[in-house]
A and B are shown apart, each in its own frame.
Chain A
Amino acid sequence: MSKYYVTIGLEMHCEGSQTNSKVFSPAINGYSDLANSNVVAIDMGFPGILPVVNKEAVRQAIMMASVLHARIPEYMYFERKNYYYPDLPKGYQLTQNPPEECVGNGGYIDIEREDGTTFRVDIDNLHLEEDAAQMEHLYDTSIINYNRAGVPLFELVTTPCLHSADDAVAFLEYVRAIYQYCNISEADSKKGQVRCDVNISISEDDKKLGTKVEIKNVNSFSGVRDAINYEIKRQSSLKDQGRYEEVVQETRRWDEESGTTITMRSKADALDYKYFVEPNIPKYKIDPKWIEDIQNNIPELPYERKEKYLNELGLSSYDATILIKDKSISDYFEECLKLGIDAKEATNWITVNIVGYMNKNDLSLSEIFLTPNMLKFILDNINNGTISSKQAKEVFFKVLEEKKEPSNYISKENAQISDENELENIIDTILLNNPNQIEQYKSGKTNLFDFFVGQVMKETRGKANPIITKELLHKKLD
């Protein structure tokens, strides 16, 4: 930890993935493997094109602003941010500016830390804008994919109110969950749907902010954590050495490979974006009834679900946090409950096995073959004694690996032996072959009981029903 007072502000860009069309054009808003396929003339800035605002994107922005307790303006309009770059075909980006005119102005959100304490993040603004095209820079050439050009982009700007990398990441994770819960975006970093800029400064005390350094285009939350920690170390070290003047107001880039930040441009080179009102979109009044309607239809948010899990289902805070973090996991869990799986049982399977498997293999839930119905099928087979929990786990991983229905792995041959007569025969044979151990057990070495259980399991290659086995052994030995 730095001995200095750290101040962090975040800009979180989240691509909206849940509209049919782009934010100002009728092109499909969707992921495509084929470059430049979801494109119309508007996205490429051909002469004569005009923007048309996507009402659904505005609805989503208003919903997000509401969740953030932000003020929603009376009128909606957009501004042009002018600059030249090959990924910006019109030569300007349609966005919102200044903060008081954005779809969300001010606001706050309370975030829970892992240790159960909470902190408040103040929002400067939330604005709706269009994404640029995607560029890939090859050795001696660059290629442009316009599929992304014009995709709705929600940019959330916090005030400089955060003080640690952990808090910053906790905030980002929670906001990402909100985007998912509100069905605005899958908010998948792997698809590049979430990108962050970080503003960071250090100072002797909390009265005066130090020199602000901006780190651009950090594309994962672990990157945000590492970039912040690196930057704190870099700035602190310079300050320690009495070289704080070398920390200048500038824009830096997070370089994932080297794990460092690298100067991009200084404040003096900052671009003048020459903002002005987009004349092709008439300023229009947002119907207060519509806003009310949107606000009345905000879906259940992650913390609300967490509350429910704690109070109604009696889950631990730790488990509930894991479940709500990703909407797809929480939805999976709730699907399990609907199928009648016990809440704690479902929690264990999901938090330990499914999430563990996802993390280990870097998968998202949509890539997991095992559905809640399949999980239910496996658990039913434990409960009716067809398989043991150990076998259930084997079936579980086979389903995941081989992507086949669990019924393929639960059959007569490997079914659990619950037939008392059959087990009794096996037990009798074992007892006959181990007279010494019986002697010792009877003279008080009761922990030898497990030895007998083990022998039965060995004989049946684990298929013996453990409960019946134990019952029978007690009957014979005691």
Chain B
Amino acid sequence: MMNKSIEELHELLKNKKITSKELIDESLKLSHEVQDKYNAFVTILDNAKEVEVTDNLLSGIPFGVKDNYSTKGVLSTGSSNTLKDYIPFFDATAYENLVNAGAIMVNKTAMDEFGMGGTGTTCHTGIVRNPWDPTRMCAGSSAGSACAVAAGVYPYATGSDTGDSIRKPAAYCGIVGYKPTYGMISRYGLFAFASSLDHLGVLTRSVKDAAIVVDNMKGIDKRDMTSWDSSNINLTNSLTGNTNGKKLCYIKELCNINNYPNASDELKKHLCNFMDKIKLIKDNGILVEEVSVDQTLLNAIASTYVIISCAEATSNMSNLTGLSFGPRGEGNNYIDVIKDHRTKGFSPLIKRRFVIGSYVLQKENQERYFKNAQRVRRLLVDEWKKLFEKYDAVILPVGTGVAKKLDGDADMLSEGTTALEEHLQVGNFGGFPSITIPDGFIDGLPVALNITGNCYDDANVLNIAYKIESLMDYKNQIAKEVK
């Protein structure tokens, strides 16, 4: 049952062909199987209770919640030892909205510690494995959510996306990952990583499911000053499949195989597949043009992201002292107590990022690093906004290919692929609506493309993605382990 779409499940529930209780039981059973095989969860809620099925499409259907969402009375760790026993006393607004819609949380999904990582390997509960190939990573940070949705535990799980943390794992797991415009979903109750880049969103197996879920998550929230009123936007109803007159562009510098000397076979196949899909899209009446963006600017994406995200993170996570919550450190004075808590609690990766963040914010470095990074961010956003004046959206391949091996062959990356690997971060710089959908396979493993549009244009972006999804065969796919 859990391999079905939200609408299908809703029909079955409405017609009493199945009960909410049965769905929960099945989802919990699958949760335990997926946990054994792929280690996707921090918590499985075996006592999840069914609710009344209403006209809301989400009512009575199980779902997963990324563990950086504050869930009242349910362990919320952010996959960090600093919060390993933290049980919040308030709900994240987005989660509260889903619960009010009748959705039933059955588990909390593992993630890179506080979202700071792109591998799904830095969770305090261990590595999350890819359901298509357990020797590979899911990418991160929404690793558990991507894994569980791809494995068919439920139709959707929530995620958060600061650089590409929804859209990259969605790609590696062959599913849909959507982060709407910044502020469309309230961030209240999401454990902050980098506030100016943090987005909430969802991982699903179809564009329509993504629209349905975000319709229920979004809304202005008086507790988040950056949230905005989207009550006039209904994403689900916007999915008409009518794309007459729509224009897309892709960036030559990122997509042209000639730009990558010594490109691996995988990269060649990935880009070739992407160009095939561009042709398919064109053949179906959507205009797609090639545009050029300054390579220097593209090359600056990754470092701009590192500087801004690390700076904000080091400040955002200064509340983790173990004084009023979290395991109390040992020491004779408050400094030692805080140091001990943080030394024991954080993984080395996070500590490295804190050092970077702290360094770029220091008085003597701030102008050179932090302020310059903000200027480059502005340049990149302006560049993309310029594209949006002419095009409805930018369409690009996600990453350099399929999910990477866990045993680390990072040095096998093709030369000069950093910008291709990290361009999704521009979506966070600008707060743009951005959706990743699967666009093919390489040796049995999924690859994906991404569609990113202008702020507040979510309905248009999703409708284009909906149309493109319908041209391909990867909708609602469940992971099958490759040999």
Contacts and interface: CB of A to CB of B under 8 A. Distances in A.
Given A80-B315, A91-B318, A48 B335 contact: no
Interface string B249-293: 000000000000000000000000000000000000000000000
Given A84-B318, A91-B321, A279 B312 contact: yes
A45 interface: yes
A90 B189 CA distance: 15
Contacts of A448: none
Interface of B: 69-70, 76, 78, 83, 86, 88-90, 92, 187-192, 194-196, 222-226, 311-312, 314-315, 317-321, 323-325, 334-335, 338, 358, 361-363, 366, 370
Nearest to B228: A282
A44 B324 contact: yes
Given A80-B315, A84-B335, A282 B226 contact: yes
Contacts of A51: 225
The majority secondary structure among interface residues of chain A is loop
B338 A84 contact: yes
B225 A48 contact: no
A272 B362 contact: yes
A280 B191 contact: no
A333 B222 CA distance: 43
Contacts of A86: 321, 323, 334
A276 B223 CA distance: 22
Given A47-B191, A51-B225, A272 B363 contact: yes
8 contacts: A41-B89, A46-B90, A48-B92, A91-B321, A279-B226, A281-B225, A282-B225, A282-B226
Nearest to B323: A86
A280 B319 CA distance: 16
Contact of A52 (B69, B222, B314, B317): B222
Contacts of B363: 272, 274
A86 B322 CA distance: 10
A415 interface: no
B318 A90 contact: yes
Contact of B189 (A44, A48, A91, A144): A48
Nearest to A146: B324
A50 interface: yes
A280 B361 contact: no
A453 interface: no
A371 to B, nearest CB: 41
Contacts of B222: 52
A282 B366 CA distance: 21
Interface of A: 41, 44-53, 80, 82, 84-86, 89-92, 142, 144, 272, 274, 276, 279-282
A150 to B, nearest CB: 13
A170 B335 CA distance: 40
Contacts of A50: 187-188, 223-225
A84 B320 CA distance: 10
Nearest to B195: A279
A80 B78 CA distance: 23
Contacts of A90: 318-319
B97 to A, nearest CB: 15
Contact of A48 (B191, B358, B366): B191
B76 A47 contact: yes
A280 B226 contact: yes
A82 B315 contact: yes
A46 B86 CA distance: 10
Contacts of B335: 84
Contacts of A45: 319, 324
A264 to B, nearest CB: 16
A74 B338 CA distance: 40
A46 B325 CA distance: 8
B315 A276 contact: yes
B190 A48 contact: yes
Nearest to A53: B225
A82 B192 CA distance: 16
A85 B333 CA distance: 11
A266 B351 CA distance: 29
Nearest to A284: B225
Given A44-B325, A91-B319, 17 more contacts: A44-B324, A45-B324, A46-B90, A46-B319, A47-B86, A47-B320, A48-B70, A48-B90, A50-B187, A86-B334, A91-B318, A91-B321, A142-B334, A274-B366, A279-B194, A279-B312, A282-B226
Contacts of A89: 319, 323-324
B435 to A, nearest CB: 24
A51 B187 CA distance: 11
A279 B312 CA distance: 9
Contacts of A84: 318, 321, 335, 338
B311 A46 contact: no
Among B312, B315, B334, the one with the most A-chain Cβ atoms within 10 Å of its Cβ is B315
Contacts of B319: 45-47, 89-91
B354 to A, nearest CB: 11
Contacts of B317: 91
Listed from nearest, the 6 A-B pairs whose CB atoms lie closest are A91-B318, A279-B196, A274-B361, A45-B319, A279-B195, A48-B189
A48 B363 CA distance: 28
Nearest to A84: B338
A49 B315 contact: no
A79 to B, nearest CB: 11
Contacts of B191: 47-48
A146 to B, nearest CB: 8
Contacts of B192: 47-48
Given A50-B224, A51-B225, A89-B319, A276 B370 contact: yes
Contacts of B78: 47
A380 B171 CA distance: 89
A269 B190 CA distance: 35
Contacts of B189: 48
Contacts of B223: 50, 52
A176 to B, nearest CB: 32
Contact of A47 (B70, B194, B362, B366): B70
A58 to B, nearest CB: 13
Contacts of A274: 315, 358, 361-363, 366
Contacts of B361: 82, 274, 276
B365 to A, nearest CB: 10
Contacts of A46: 70, 88, 90, 319, 325
A26 to B, nearest CB: 9
Nearest to B196: A279
Among B319, B325, B361, the one with the most A-chain Cβ atoms within 10 Å of its Cβ is B319
A31 to B, nearest CB: 22
Contacts of B225: 50-53, 280-282
Contacts of B70: 46-48
Contacts of B366: 274, 276
A86 B86 CA distance: 19
Contacts of B83: 47
Contacts of A48: 69-70, 88, 90, 92, 188-192
Nearest to B91: A48
A92 B222 CA distance: 22
Given A91-B321, A276-B370, A47 B88 contact: yes
B42 to A, nearest CB: 14
Nearest to A280: B195
Nearest to A42: B223
A84 B335 CA distance: 8
Nearest to A81: B315
